[in-house]
Structures are given as C-alpha cells and as structure tokens.
A and B are shown apart, each in its own frame.
Chain A
Amino acid sequence: MRDKKTSNKSNLKLFVTILQKDIKTEIRQVNDIFSVILFGIISIFIFSSSYNTINLGSSMPIEIFVTQIWLIIFFTLIFIMIKLFVQEKERGTLDGLATSPVSKNILLTSKIVFCFILLSFIELILILFSFFISIPSTQALNHIEILYYILLGIVLPTLDLSVCGTLVSALSMYSKNKSFVLPLLLFPIILPITSPIISLNIKLLEGELLSLVLMEILFVVAHAILMFSILILVSEELLSE
C-alpha cells in the first residue's frame, strides 16, 4: 500500500516536471503562440466583417457565432498538435524522454494536459475577442448559466480535443509528410464530436436546461474516454519507432 502511494507520488512528480518543462519551453518561444492567436483573431475579424457587410450590422445569430468559433478552434488545434510530439521528435528531445525512466502513460498524460492548457489559453483570448467583435445575439445569462457554459461548453470539449490532438500528434510523428498526415488523421477523429460540441454550445448560450443538453454532454464525455483509452492502450507502440 505504502509502495503504491510512493509510486503514485513519484509519478505525479514526473508528470509535473514534464508539464513544467513544456510550459517553460513554450513561454520562451512565445512568437509561435502569438502567430496562432493572430490567425484566430484575423479569422474572427474576417467572419464578422463579412457577416456585417451582408447583414448591415445586425447582431450575429448564436448558431453562426458558435460555428465560427469552433471552426477556428479546430484549426488552432492543428498548430498545437505540432508542438506536442512532432516538434520533440524532429528536435530529438523525445528520445531524451524515451531513454529516461519515465512511463509512457505519464508522458502522454502530461502532453494532454499541456495541450489542454495551451488550447484553453488561446480559446480564452479568441472567445473574449469574438464576443466583443461579433456581438452575438445571446440572451442575458445568469452566473450559473455562464458557469455551465464555461465548464460544459468550453472546458469539456477542450479536454476532448486535447486527448484527440495528443493521439493524432503521437500517431503522426513518425510519418514523413507530417503536415499532410496531421489534419488528415485529425478530421475523422474529431468529426463525430463537431456537431455535439456546436449544439451543446448553442443550447447553453440560449440558456437551456441541463437536462436538454445531457445527450451532447454524454457524447463528448464518451468520446473523450474512448480516445483516452485508445491512447493508453497503444501508448507502447505509439512511442516506439
């Protein structure tokens, strides 16, 4: 029992060490993140100005607002996926991790959390910016509804996307044509959750009851669990050449 506790503690330490290293490395190459944020902001701006030109300044329907945001987030994920395993593999540092006594599951979990942190940070800026620029026709939500929207509409799908992104990044790192393989693999993996995520966001922004979004929540949770299980099951093969 004590051995298990000690082992869990040391695993947690290793997890935190790898995560800290990833965050520190990312902060030192802040230009990469800026370029991703810039891409998102420009995309939102183009969407909004096109909509305003056609609809003469009327506020954007929630359906279009949510679709534009998640479309941009899906593309952003491709940029982040490169940072997870592909970049480490190309630089050779992944072998440094592979030759150290760190279990592959710890490595994968730390990459999922890193992807989640990075994606959440970018989403935060993009969603705030798009609320300001696109001015969606949402009704006034109370504090609880806003909390539900953040937790179930943003955090939960982001977690699912982070698992998918890590899986795809690990799957494609040995491929010769990574820029082609990454989106090609990501598309079928995230396709089943695009509709539930968008529907979940629309319903939550419309202030619907939780019981009415239960199916979407269950679908996203089930997808995340399935992808995580696949990731853990194939971790040995994924991280060996």
Chain B
Amino acid sequence: MSFNMNKSDRILLECDNVSKQYGFFFALNKISFNVKENTILGIVGANGAGKTTLIKILSGLRSPTSGKVLISGMNYKDNNRDIKRLIGTISSKSFLYEELSIYENLKFYSKLYSVYEKHEFKEKIEQYADKFNLSDWIFEPISYLSTGMKQKVEIIRILIHNPSILLLDEPFSGLDFNSIKLLIKILNDLRENENLTIILTTHKIEVIQQICDAILILKRGKINKFVPKTEMNKIKIESYF
C-alpha cells in the first residue's frame, strides 16, 4: 500500500509485513505500507488497535517480532544512529525534563543530535521560541507551562535537529480547541515549508480529515482500511474501527 499526494515520489518509509507479538497476542499483525516524502499519514483506530505500538516500532523504541522497517532505505539494525537523526518523535508521554527550562531542554536535545556549533544553540532556540510565541517563557521550567505550551516545546524539540520524518503519537490529546487549531496550522506549515513527512495517530477524526493526505485505519493490529484524501469525505471512518 503506497500513497503520495504531493511533489516527490521518493519512498521515505517502508513498513514490510511488520508484526509485534506479546506472548500469544499480536499487537500488530503483518502491517505493510509505504510513505512517500512530504506527506501526512494519519493512523486511527480504537484503543488497543496497535497505533502506539506501530509508532514505537517506526521510531526504533521497539523492535518488530517479524518484518522490516526501512527509513530512507536503511534499517535500524545496521544504521540505528543515522536513522534516528532523520526522525523526530513525540510520544504520549512527554520527553521533556520538568525541572529544566525550555532553553535547557532544547539545548540538551540539540546537543544529543550534535547539529549545531556551540554559539549557534542560543540563536536557533530563540528563533524557534519566537516562531512559536514562547520567547517570554524560554527560561522558565517546563513544569510552569500549560499543556498547549508544553506541546509547542515538544514540537520545537523534534524540529531542532532538522529531521525528515515526524512521528507523532496522539499530538492533540489534552489540547483545547485553540491549541488544536494552532497545532494543525503548525503541521500544515511544516509540510508546506519544510517538506516534512508526518505520521500521526489520533482519535480526532475531524482533525485528521483536515490535515492528512491519507488515513490508515487499524483494527486489532491489522490494517482494516486505507483511505486516500479523495475518499475521506465519502466514507464514515468510525465504522471501520
């Protein structure tokens, strides 16, 4: 299953017959799909459908029991560090250190990816903070921020090392209406201006219809339906959960 609604034809992510088994239980069962450059793929499904497991496997946090994942033609086993430089992951749990400030968190993560010279950190972080309206809070600890602001910092955290693919697990959860609107705008901008490929999971069907080029509906660890943009308004997505 492959899709591309945009300019490039280059396959950035390949998921080939990926299964994840816990004992006798299949969290994912022979999942196969490709994602081309500069697209947004939404993954939906009921609780326990395997969305988070799939994101964890794509981000290298878990290994599949069988099957393979190729990112830019590379696999995790042989090119672990190279692949991780290409990916930015947001999980349902925050990766930010509550005791550290926005600046300290972003500096820490950008140092892990070794992308900037010493003098560039501050400038780059300030640029992003300005873009996301966080300049006044940059030296405040994460624990002082609201959920929406924390999510903005998470977005900056994954953008700071210039990745090609964003993997977002439930990025809209806990956000109010305005924050969701803002995040949709940010994701659209990223696709348009930064040519990023985005894979996200969510329960918010109305949101996913607004921004995704295609939707993958998971049911009990299997792909139940693949919905391209053209069909999104014609079918009732929830009925495939």
Contact = CB atoms under 8 A, between A and B. Distances in A.
B is a partner of A: yes
Interface stretch (A46-54, A58-66, A91-99, A212-220): A91-99
A101 B112 contact: yes
Interface stretch (B67-75, B86-94, B225-233): B86-94
B84 A24 contact: no
Contact of B112 (A17, A92, A241): A17
A29 interface: yes
Contacts of A177: none
Contacts of A100: 84, 109, 112-113
Contacts of B98: 91
Interface stretch (B3-11, B43-51, B58-66, B207-215): B58-66
A96 B141 CA distance: 18
A95 B112 CA distance: 13
Interface residues of A, number: 24
A101 B85 contact: yes
Nearest to A100: B112
B95 A17 contact: no
Report the interface size class on chain B: 20 to 34
A101 B84 contact: yes
Contacts of A98: 60-61
A115 B218 CA distance: 43
Contacts of A35: none
Given A10-B114, A28-B141, A93 B60 contact: no
A92 B91 contact: yes
B139 to A, nearest CB: 13
A21 B95 contact: no
Contacts, number: 72
Nearest to A22: B97
Given A28-B99, A101-B81, A240 B91 contact: no
Interface in B125-164: 141
A25 B99 contact: yes
B22 to A, nearest CB: 10
A226 interface: no
B40 to A, nearest CB: 20
Given A96-B109, A99-B84, A100-B113, A240 B104 contact: no
Contacts of A240: 61-63
B96 interface: yes
A237 to B, nearest CB: 11
A92 B95 contact: yes
A103 B81 contact: yes
B170 to A, nearest CB: 13
